[in-house]
Amino acid sequence: MTIESKLGKLTGDLPHGVSEGVALGTGLADGFDLYESALGNVVVTFNPRGVSSVDLASEGFAERFADRFERRLFRAEAPSQWRRFIPEALEAGRPGTVPVDLRSVTAFQADVLHETARIPKGEVRPYSWLARRIERPRAVRATGSALARNPIPLIIPCHRVVRSDGQIGRYSLGNAHNKVVLLEREGVDLEALKRPPNRIP
Amino acid sequence: MGDLAMALAKNLDRAFPEVVEKMGGRLYWGLRRMSGDHQEAEDLTQEALIRAYRALSSYDRERIRALRVEPWLWTIALNLGRNHLRDRSRRPTFVTEAEGVLDFDPEPFDQAGWDRRLAELNKNQRTAVVLRHVVGLGVDEIAEAVGRPVGTVKADIHRGLAKLRDILEAES
């Protein structure tokens, strides 16, 4: 056997885990990890650009992710730079120092979500307020649709946006009851919301 | 090779996994033989592929189409490794145990022994020999990857092999 052919045998397959690491590092796949939240365990997905989605840790989340984002998903740890701020972002209901990846929504929807992220904890705003804030006062329905498409609920607090008549409105994470749970936990007086403004003492 | 560049130019995200699948193994094992270290080779492979993807994202289609993907990938990997490997060459390196990949080989192939022998070549010779005979690149591809003339690369391979023969002879 020649030296050349011996050298040719000093090779093999790519070690397990490298191609997954590359997929995660390039953002061709997202990582996911489990976190606790006011609504129980949630799945947070992320890539080098930031957090890409939050979903209830229920069966089928991987399929829901694949349908919506068309990227692969691997169990992973979030980038160490901002990993430790994720629990805080979930608890506070604002991104803070956690970057968010909103490539999955339109520019209009992203405007709505960025504005939503500024609503303080324990406060609510009507859809029409949000529409005015992004200088699209007539786009109230579209604003509602944008919130329904919020890929990062809890961290982008779409639960703080309610109907002008004080009704709670829809919620994108599970059902409308989850919205009630979150708002009550933040100390929002849901009954007071339903009273017309002139009757609020 | 040309087909792959075309596919990358057409749809980077769809075609890139093919780069990883086709070239990742050769990249890892080439780097592994150059460094003698699994962890370092794995880190460099991953880093090189990620940087390649980022670079491709910023190139226009014409530039991607004109690429010879594998030599280009090796340029990235070798530039990444250069400082690291230079530092390593200044200190003793523990040679890792042989791994199971060649267990089926009829001739019990001591990878650790080959790592030790390759470590005795100078860096240019080792890089050229590994790229030619472990990775299987052509001489012109190696010249492109390392940024040296074809004649120099040929000489490095020739001298590297001669030195390996001497080492083997001295062993027996």
Which pLDDT belongs to residue B89? 38
Q: In this prediction, what percent of chain A has a pLDDT beyond 70?
A: 97
Instruction: Count CB atoms within 10 A of the CB of residue B152.
Output: 13
Residue type, B40: E
| Cα distances (angstroms) measured from residue B115 to each of B95, B118, B134, B136 | 7, 5, 12, 17
Q: Pick the residue with more confidence: B103 or A135?
A: A135
The yes-or-no verdict on residue A32 having pLDDT over 80 is: yes
The DSSP code sequence of B47-72 is: HHHHHHHHHHHHS-HHHHHT--HHHH
Nearest CA in chain A to B52: A26
Instruction: Count CB atoms within 10 A of the CB of residue B1.
Output: 13
The yes-or-no verdict on residue A12 having pLDDT over 90 is: no
Closest CA to B53 of B68, B29, B69: B69
Catalytic-labelled residue, pool A44, A158, A168, A188: A158
Is A158 catalytic? The answer is yes
Instruction: Give residue-wise pLDDT tens across range A76-134.
Output: 988 888 989 999 999 999 999 999 999 999 999 999 999 999 999 999 999 999 999 99
Mutation choice for A interface testing from B8, B16, B50, B56 by most A CBs within 10 A: B50
Those residues of chain B that have pLDDT short of 50 are 1, 87-108
The pLDDT confidence band at residue A190, using thresholds 50, 70 and 90, is confident
Residues of B in contact with A9 (CB under 8 A): 102, 105, 109
Which pLDDT belongs to residue A196? 64
| Cα distances (angstroms) measured from residue A52 to each of A32, A100, B50, B107 | 10, 6, 19, 51
